[in-house]
Amino acid sequence: MSRGRRRADGTARGAHRAKRTSLLGGAIGVLGELLLTLGALMLLFLVWQLWWTDVVADREQDTIVAELDQQWGEAEQAIAAPQDGPPPVPDTLGDTMVWGTMHVPEFDRQRVPLAEGVSLEKVLNVKGVGHYPETALPGQVGNFSVAGHRNTYGRPFEGIARLEEGDAIVIETAEAFYVYEVTESLVVMPDAVEVIAPTPGQPGVEPTEAMLTLTACHPMYSARERYIVHAEFAYWTDRADGIPEALAPNGQEG
């Protein structure tokens, strides 16, 4: 083969290698840009999921609570005496409707709306705490059971793992305050529906006590398990008389 032919072949191979290198470099550049774009989108999603949903939900839930106070009138801050006899049965107003509020003094957000149903899109993501429709109502014998987010969408149950035996959980309606006291906490699998049975943990057993159950995802930022808090009914007060002692500011007694 002549020297000229070898030179030509070498030039052709060099050009081919250069073209392949250029194409590879272009592909890597495009891939890099796609990864950067994907990373930016994921970051925006995390910001939306972990922060912005709280901003929106907090605003909507605060508005709901303010509207309820306008409808009901704000409760007097005098300490009301516990009432004798069975408490009034609240009207749940229909699916997805807000019919009460929940106060948990141990939580950072101490008062959130309480709505009927546990739909994510229509209740838990927008209105706060949701009541399992087939369970008892506040003050009734049975197991009044509710669900709430532990993170995102206002995180009404963010502090659920801080609750200890004896801590108060108070349900407020247009007519009354219903005071419960925590008895135990546990972690279960998502399919452990017996925790909201009329007698918690004992499906089919006729209830003899008025109980409350809180349910939330566990651990934080995961739905792998459920964190459960059980509480028993302690007493109720007439809302027209003021607030129960469980909601009294520090140092104020009845």
**Residues carrying an active site annotation:** 149, 217, 226
Q: Could you please report the per-residue DSSP string of 133-169? A: TTSPPTTSSEEEEEE--SSSTT-TTTTGGG--TT-EE
Q: Where are the alpha helices (DSSP H) in 48-151?
A: 53-72
Task: Say whether 26 sits in a helix, a strand or coil.
Answer: helix
Q: Could you please report the per-residue DSSP string of 176-210? A: EEEEEEEEEEEEE-TT-GGGGSSSTT-TTPPP-SE
Radius of gyration of the chain (CA): 29
Pairing type for strands 111-116 and 142-147 reads: unpaired
